[in-house]
Amino acid sequence: MSDKFPLYDLYTKKLSKRDLSKKQKDDFVSKVKELDQKGKELLFMLIKVYHIETTSTNDYHLPYNGKENRKNISFDLEEFPKELKQLLYRFVKDHLKTMKNDKKEDKIRKQIVQKTVRKK
């Protein structure tokens, strides 16, 4: 377990050793495209920490045959270990829920501010 990245510790608890189903893989690929910048950064950090924790290496190279271009980093889901796929799938689903809730909260805040401004 990583003492330096609590999010990793959270998602490695009770991790399934089974591979994702075809439906889950398709869902994962679709959902990753919806992530905000923060979600993408956390996703990469989870991949990197998993690699460090499971291989005892700390070099900078992109693990699991990741590819980097000017704008982004990409991975082939099939290159990941089964447990990492499970971890990332859980994270992506949770992060998208958080994004949705944050958007709702922002909308409510704006409505409250508008009502407050109107009353003045």
Q: Are 114 and 62 in contact (CB under 8 A)?
A: no
pLDDT in tens, 20-69: 999 999 999 999 999 999 999 999 999 999 999 998 777 778 899 999 98
Two structure tokens written together for 57: 């290496």
Stretch 76-95: mean pLDDT, rounded?
97
More confident residue, 98 or 107: 98
Other beta carbons within 10 angstroms of residue 81's beta carbon come to 14
**Residue 9 burial (C-beta neighbours within 10 Å; 0-12, 13-18, 19+):** middle
Whether the model pTM is above 0.75: yes
Q: Which residues 6+ apart lie within 8 Å of 104 measured at CB?
A: none
- Distance between first and last Cα of the chain: 54
